[in-house]
Amino acid sequence: MSVAILGGGIMGLSLGYCLARQGVAVEIFEASPVLGGLAGPLVLEDGVAVDRFYHAILSSDSHLLGLFDELGLADQFRCRETRMGFYHQGRVYSMNNLVEFLRFPPLGWIDRFRLGLTILYARRVRDWRSLEAVGVEQWLLRLGGRRTYENIWRPMLKAKFDGGFDDTPATYIWSRLVRMTSTRRGASQKELAGHLIGGYATLMQAMARSIEAVGGQVHLQSPVQQIVIEQGRARGICLNGERRTFEAVVATMQAPIFRRLIPDASPEYQSYLGQTEYLGIVCPLLVLDRPLTGFWTLNITDDRVPFTGVIETTAYIDPRYVGGHHLVYLPKYTAPGSPWQTMPDEEIRSIWLKSLTEMFPDFDPRSIRYFLVHRERYVEPLHRLNSAHLIPDVQTPVKDLFLVTTAQIYPALTNGESVSRHADQAAQIIRQSGQGSSVVSAGLPRPVPAADRAAA
């Protein structure tokens, strides 16, 4: 079976790695000059490579850790205890253990107790489908009460969804709570986050080498122009104006990009794909000569701050691995059509720095070595209430054409762990179809979040 895989991000490479090891002849086509997609690297002016966006690997990411073992990368994985905090009404609060939690001033005793119960309850939910029809606001109000909702959840959700989240199901916050608490171990409840030396690029390169070692091919700077569809069947791809024939084609990019590559698919399928929406991101990276907060994540519950959080990855990456720099990302998630996406870099810089200086009066702008604004339009698929039927299947209506994309990952959050797990499951579907089994188009078995795995 010869398979063209479109996209050299974590999804495309994980899929290529799985299929190539099972004897499938794969060729990966990546539009950009480097592998990695959203998890790709960025080379600073001084030649140091860093992750373009922040990427933590958690100690509970068992699938990824398994991949590191298989690829001989385990000794390049570094993991550290980290700290997280809250920025609330002009002050930073550490929130790392029970004592700090019980002292958190915006909440009274009963609120704190209910917040604790919300987290415990979330970890015990077995059937996420029961949350699919419940709004996130309703769920959080019921479990945690009004004060916790107004002080913590509402501002965080507003920032994450760039305004409205009325039709967001409770599954969103449930998945997040499960992931964020899955790494806390033992009585100390310490939080562990990690990275590969060299960032996610190290994993991508290792997977590419492994694919090539068994005869597969990885092509960079190869933007596929169109997927060739004839008589309801995918026949290959169009690249640099030339046709290349394959027995199957797998697209791993986001649905709106995929849609543009299939002008010959039915209008019904195209308009179905058009219903998949994404959050985008505007994410300045501050490269500093000193630490800023010491927290890996600082959640912001203040509407006046334009960014969603302060993420300092050098809280868990030893700066010696990134040229002695301190890396701080200040992401702003953007709703479809958000004006933040088109705002000039200079304007973003001035708004962001004004806010940062107000938050941290000791912050010295002279500590900035680089201020780099990065943007992406399709980052996180948006799932609305009762809309699981809008999740596209891996098997498309076009024979021998498959879509393996982050929009299919639900209710788990999209990250390296869930993406590589999903790619594994999708590889089985593609292999089965190549062996002539009919694929039931009832959707993919959804990745099971950590709490359910533990319970299973």
Ligand X SMILES: Cc1cc2nc3c(=O)[nH]c(=O)nc-3n(C[C@H](O)[C@H](O)[C@H](O)COP(=O)(O)OP(=O)(O)OC[C@H]3O[C@@H](n4cnc5c(N)ncnc54)[C@H](O)[C@@H]3O)c2cc1C
User: Which residues would be at the binding site for ligand X (CB under 6 A)?
Assistant: 6-12, 29-32, 37-39, 53-56, 223-224, 252-253, 257, 261, 281, 283, 331, 376, 379, 406, 414-417, 419
111 vs 417 by CB, closer to ligand X: 417
Residue (144 or 331) nearer to ligand X, CB:
331
Amino acid at 8: G
Taking the complex as a whole, how short is the minimal distance between the CB of residue 426 and ligand X, in angstroms? 11
Distance (Å, whole) CA 140 – CA 96: 21
Please give the residue whose beta carbon sits closest to ligand X in the complex. 37
Nearer Cβ to ligand X (225/441): 225
Residue 400 has φ and ψ, to the nearest 5°, of 65, 15
Nearest CA to 296 out of 306, 311, 281 is that of 311
**Residue carrying the six token digits 């994993």:** 203
Q: Which two tokens stand for residue 79?
A: 């993991």
Tell me how far, at minimum, the Cβ of 55 lies from ligand X, in Å.
4
CA distance 407 to 74: 29
Under 8 Å between Cβ of 278 and 243: no
**Least separation, in Å, of the C-beta of 109 and ligand X?**
33
144 versus 309: smaller Cβ distance to ligand X? 309
* C-beta of 56 vs 255, nearer to ligand X: 56
Tell me the C-alpha distance between 95 and 101, whole Å: 6
Residue 114 or residue 422: which is nearer to ligand X going by CB? 422
Residue 130 has which token pair? 């029961």
Task: Pick the closer one to ligand X by CB: 326 or 332.
Answer: 332
The torsion angles phi and psi of 423, rounded to 5 degrees, stand at: -60, -40
Give the span between the Cα atoms of 359 and 86, in whole angstroms: 12
CB of 136 to ligand X, least distance (A): 20
CB of 278 to ligand X, least distance (A): 10
CB of 11 to ligand X, least distance (A): 3
Cβ nearer to ligand X, comparing 39 with 143: 39
Smallest gap from Cβ 158 to ligand X, in A, equals 18
Residue 52 contacts residue 285 (beta carbons within 8 Å): yes
| Minimum gap (Å) between residue 154 Cβ and ligand X | 22
Question: What DSSP line would sit under 291-347, residue for residue?
Answer: -SSS-SEEEE--TT-SSSEEEEGGGTS-GGGGTT-EEEE--EEE-TT-GGGGS-HHH
Q: Quick check: helix, strand or coil at residue 276? A: coil
Q: Which among 12, 16, 13, 292 is positioned nearest to 1, based on CA atoms?
A: 16
Q: How far apart are CA 331 and CA 314, in angstroms?
A: 16
